[in-house]
Chain A
Amino acid sequence: MAKEQAAKAAKPGKKEKGARKGGAGKVLFVLMIFLVTIWSTACLIVPGMMPTLVALITDKDREKALALTVGATNFAGCLPFVLQLWSMGQNFDNAMKLMRDPLTWLVMLASAGVGYVIYIIVPDIVATFMAGSASGKIARLQKNLEELQRVWGPDVATDKQFDALGDIQG
C-alpha cells in the first residue's frame, strides 16, 4: 500500500495532489489515533458532529462558510455532553448511556440547526442593511457633486482642457 502510494506520488503531474493526499492522510491518521485513544468520547462526538460533516461535504463555497458556521454551533452543542461524559468517566457504557438519551441528540442536532439558521438569515440581513446604508451615502455624495458643480461649474465633471483664457483647447 505504501509502495503504491509512493509510486502514485512519484508520477509526473500528480505530485502535488499526492502530497496533499499524503498530508490529509497524516491528519486522518493522527485523528484516528486520537479517537482510538479517547474512543468513548469519539463514540459521542462523531455522531454528534455529523451535520458539520454533511455541511463540509455539501458546501461548494471556497471559504467553506457554511461548514465553519454550522461547525461552530454544532461543536458548542456537543461540548456539554462531552464534559458530562468526562465527569461520569470515559467508558463505552457511559457514552452509550448518553447516546440513548433523546435530549442529547436534540441538543446536538438543534445546535447545528442554529448554525444553519444563522447562515441562511444573516447574509440577507447584511445585504439589506448595506443597501439601505448605500442609498443614504449616495444621496450625500450626490449633494457633494452638486455643490462641486455649483462652485466650479459643469466642467468640473469633464476632462476638457482649457487655455489661459478659459477657452477649450483642441
Chain B
Amino acid sequence: MQQKTERAEGANGFVPLGGKSEVAPASPLPTFDGVGGTAYVARLRGASSSDLMALICRNGYPPRSDIVNQLRGIDNPAVLRLLDSGMIDFPVDGQRYYGFVFEQPLNGRFWQSLDEVHAPLGEDFVNRRFIAPLADGLRQFADVGLMHGSVRPTNIFWRENSSGAPQLGECVTAAPGIGQPLLFESLERAQAAPHARGTGTILDDMYALGVTVLLLVLGRNPLKGIDDATLLRLRLERGSFATLVENAKLAPGHVELLRGLLHDDPRQRWNAYDLEQWCSGQRLSPKQSEFSKRASRGLVFCGKEYWQIRPLVPVLWANVAEAAKLIDGGELDRWLRRSMNDDERADRVQDAIDTLKNSGRTAYYDEQLVTMATIALDPNGPIGYRGQVVMPSGVGGGLAEAMRTGQNLQIMGEVISNQFVGFWVNQQSGGKADLVPLAQSFERMRGHVERANYGSGLERVVYELNPTLACLSPMLRGQNVIAAKDFLGALERAAMQPNRPNEPFDRHIASWVITKDRSFDYMMRAVNSSSNLQRILTVLNLYDEWQQKHGPEQIPALTGWFVTLLEPLTRRYFNRPTRDAVAAALQQAAAGGRLKAVVELLDNPAMVERDQQSFAAARQVYRATLQQIALLERHKKYHAEVAKTYGRPTATYIAWVLSAMAIVFTILRSLTAG
C-alpha cells in the first residue's frame, strides 16, 4: 500500500484527477467540505498556481456524475464553476473515489451553521445583492432542467460587504436531499427520508431559496431548537409559510415573495422565471391552495381530531391497523364527502380500495390499503409503506442507501412490486404526461424484482434507478467503480487480493454491467442458463468484449484468475498433446493479460470440433484393434480348432502340390524313357 501511495502521489504531492486536473491530498480545505465529499487544494495539470478545489466523494453517497455535462454548461457568477471530474487514486487511504474540481469560492461560507445569529439585512440590499444573482443562477439550473438541491445559507459563499455575487456551493457530491435540513425541503420531500427524496425540481430549489431569504432578512433561524418531527407536524398542520413566517416582521415585498416561494402546493409555487419577474419589479400573487382547506367537522383518529388532510396522512401511515379500519369501514369516505365536501377525493380513495380488493387479499393487505388510500388522499405527497416514506423518484435512492448500509430491502422491493409508483402517477391531476416515463420505468423494475436470476432482482433495480451508483459488489469495495472504463481495472486489483472470492462475478456485477451496457443482455441469458463452468466461460466472453470496448489493454491478474477457474475446461480437448499445449498456452495468455487469448484457447468451436471428430475416429480404431486382438487370442487359445480350420486345408493343399509334382515327374520320365 505504501508503495502504491508513493506511485500514485507525484513528486510534487499532486495526484491526477479526471482529464486535466490534479489534487493535493496533503492540503485539505475543510472550509469547503461538501455533504458527500471533502475538499482539497487542486490545480490544472502543469499550472503553477493552486487556485482550485477538489471535492473527493469519500462519504459513500452516489455522486451526481450524471449531471456533470449540464453543470459545466452553467457559467454564472452565482454558481461555483465546475471544471473537471473523474476518478482519483486517493493515496491517503489507498482507495479510489470520484471527485469534482471547482474554482475556489471567492468568499467563505455565508453562515457556518443554521443556529448563528446575524444582523438582519435591508430589503433593497437583499433583493439586489442576494436574491437577484441567485435567482439568475437558479434560472440557469432551470434552463438545463436541473435541480440544485442544496440551497441553504450554509452552502452559500458570500460576504455582505463583498462586491461579488453570492455563490451557490456544490450540489454534486451527494443526491439532492442528502444533507439538506428538513427546514429547506418542500413539504412533500420533507416527509420522505433524506435518501429517498428523489431528484426533485427547480420548484424545490425555489422553496429552499425562500427559507434562505427568510433567514437572511431575519438574521436568524426562526425555528431554532425545534426538532424535525415537530417542525414537520407544524408545517403539515399550519402550512410552511405560516409556520416559518408566523409573527416575523417583514417588508411587504418580502411577505409577497415568501408567500410565492414557500407555497406548499408546487403548482402554485413561484418558479425561477416568476422570481426573475418579481426581481424586475412585476408583482405576482399566489392562489389559495386546496390543501389548506379545513373540514366542517374534525375526524377523530387515534384519540386526536384532524381537520385537514395533510396532517392526517402521516398519522395513518404510523397506525396501520386503525387506519385500515377507518378506510375499510367507510368512516374516512363519509368524512371526505360530508365534512370536507370533497367527493372527487372520496371517489379516488374508494377506487384505490376497490383496485386493491379486486387484486386479491395478500400479505400486508392493511399496509397496502393504507398506502394506496393515502396516495389517493394526497397525490402530491410521498409514498408511505411499512414505516418507509419515499418520493416516487426517491425509491432508487432509498433502495441504494438500504443496500449500501445493509438494511432490509424487502420493503423497497414491495414498494416496487406493488406498483405504488404507477398508482401514484395515475393519481396526479396535472402534468401527468411528464410522469409517464416514471411509471413505465417502474413497470420494468417490477419485472426485474420478480426475477431472481443474474442481471435481475433488486440489484438490477438499484443500478437502473441510480445510474451513478458505484458497483456495490463486495469484491469492488473501496474502488467506487462508476464508469465502464474503470470496471476491469478495479477487478484486476481485486484479483490481486489474497482473499479474493471464488469467481470474478456476482449478482451486483451482473446487474451493474447490464445497466451500463445493454448489448450484453444476450450473454446474461447464457450466464443464467448454464453450468458453473459454462457460466464462467460466458463471463470470460463478456469481460473479453468489455476489455476490447473499454480497456484496459492488459489485466494479467484477472486473466490468470480466469485461467485458474477454467483450467478444467482443457478437458474438452480429448487429445492429450493438444490439451497440454493449450494448458501451456493458457499460462502464457495469463502473463499477457489479454482475455481474448484465453477465449481463443478455450472457446474455439472449430478447434473443439476437429478434436471431437478425431477422438471419434480414434475410438473406432480402438474398437477395431480390440476385435483383432480378440481374434488372435482365439487363435492361440483354440489350437485344435485352428488346426482343423486352417491346418487341414493346408495339408490337402501340400499333398496336392506334392502329388502334382510327382505326377508331372512320372509322366516326363515315362515320356523321356519311351
Contact = CB atoms under 8 A, between A and B. Distances in A.
A122 interface: yes
A144 interface: yes
A4 B622 CA distance: 65
A75 B662 CA distance: 10
B73 interface: no
A155 B574 contact: yes
Given A69-B655, A76-B663, A130 B646 contact: yes
B647 A123 contact: yes
Contacts of B622: 145, 148, 156-157
B115 to A, nearest CB: 67
A97 B110 CA distance: 160
A69 B642 CA distance: 18
A103 interface: no
Interface string A76-91: 1101100100010000
A126 B650 contact: yes
Nearest to B656: A72
Interface string B637-654: 001101110111111101
Interface in A53-70: 61, 63, 65, 68-70
Q: How large is the interface on B (under 10, 10 to 19, 20 to 34, 35 or more residues)?
A: 35 or more
Given A123-B647, A127-B647, A152-B576, A76 B636 contact: no
A121 B658 CA distance: 15
Contacts of B636: 131, 134-135, 138
Given A123-B651, A156-B618, A151 B576 contact: yes
A164 interface: yes
Contacts, number: 159
**How many interface residues does chain A have, given as a range?**
35 or more
Interface string B190-221: 00000000000000000000000000000000
Residue in B575, B647, B662 with the greatest tally of chain A CB atoms within 10 Å: B647
A142 B632 CA distance: 12
Nearest to B669: A80
Contacts of A165: 531, 533-534, 537, 569, 572
A65 B615 contact: no
A122 B625 contact: no
A130 B651 contact: no
Contact of A63 (B572, B573, B648): B648
B321 interface: no
Nearest to A149: B622
A10 B571 CA distance: 76
B648 A83 contact: no
Nearest to B632: A134
Contact of B648 (A123, A128, A159, A164): A123
B531 A126 contact: no
Contact of B576 (A69, A79, A122, A153): A153
A24 interface: no
Interface in A117-142: 118-119, 121-128, 130-131, 134-135, 137-138, 141-142
A130 B642 contact: yes
A65 B574 contact: no
Nearest to B671: A83
A94 to B, nearest CB: 15
Given A68-B655, A134-B633, A165-B569, A79 B666 contact: yes
A150 interface: yes
Interface in B350-369: none
Contact of A68 (B618, B652, B662): B652
Given A73-B658, A164-B608, A126 B652 contact: no
Contacts of A76: 658-660, 662-663, 666
A80 B633 contact: no
Contacts of B569: 165-166
B635 interface: yes
Nearest to B579: A153
B329 interface: no
Given A65-B649, A131-B635, A134-B633, A72 B655 contact: yes
A101 interface: no
Contacts of A68: 652, 655-656
A63 B576 contact: no
B667 interface: yes
Contact of A119 (B625, B642, B648): B648
B227 to A, nearest CB: 63
Contacts of B659: 72-73, 75-76
Contacts of B626: 145
Given A65-B651, A151-B575, A87 B670 contact: yes
A122 B667 CA distance: 27
A83 B629 contact: no
A73 B657 CA distance: 9
A145 B625 CA distance: 7
A51 interface: no
Contact of B642 (A115, A131, A150, A157): A131
Interface of A: 61, 63, 65, 68-70, 72-73, 75-77, 79-80, 83, 87, 111, 114-115, 118-119, 121-128, 130-131, 134-135, 137-138, 141-142, 144-145, 148, 150-153, 155-157, 159, 162, 164-167
8 contacts: A65-B652, A87-B670, A123-B643, A123-B646, A127-B643, A142-B629, A151-B618, A165-B533
Given A68-B652, A165-B531, 17 more contacts: A76-B663, A77-B662, A80-B666, A87-B674, A114-B658, A124-B643, A124-B647, A126-B647, A127-B642, A131-B635, A131-B639, A131-B642, A138-B632, A164-B572, A165-B537, A165-B569, A165-B572
CB-based closest 3 A-B pairs: A123-B647, A166-B572, A122-B651
